[in-house]
Structure 1
Amino acid sequence: MKKAIVQPSCLSSTTIENLKDTYPSVEEAQKPLWELLVAAMGSQHADMWNGMDRANLLLYYELLSDLISNIYNSNS
């Protein structure tokens, strides 16, 4: 039996369709996210961040990456 997927109202099917139309695979959707992280960590602004700020940015990346994976794996 397949588990029912409860989708938050803010994550409409149109939003998911737009994401998948723009980025047909999970890898394509995650690549810009990774590039943003690399750019942020390599920028001069990163020099002003303390260890906690950097850890929070990495956590944010991991959570968004997991969300993207779940969208692609749950809504085929």
Structure 2
Amino acid sequence: MKFPLLLAILALALPPLRAADDYQPGPDSKVRPGVPQGELIKFEFNGSKFFPGTTREITVYVPKQYDAVKPACVYVNQDGLQ
């Protein structure tokens, strides 16, 4: 009984030890000269009818090329901005 328990503990404990802590973003994620930089607008939403008393932090990225006259694409990412 002890051996299967030891194997289970090792199976759960070893994978995180091999995780890459030195991850570096690729070249497409870095600032480059000549590429327009947009703006991050941050605000809080606290007027929920369904979940009163909750506050949500919202961040909106507006590209430099944005034109209010033309329709824009929208990307929504929940619980993932770091």
Shorter-chain TM range is under 0.3
Q: Which has the higher contact order (CA 8 A, sep 6+)?
A: 1
TM-score, normalised on structure 1?
A: 0.23
TM-score, normalised on structure 2?
A: 0.22
Per residue, is there more helix in 1 or in 2?
1
Per residue, is there more strand in 1 or in 2?
2
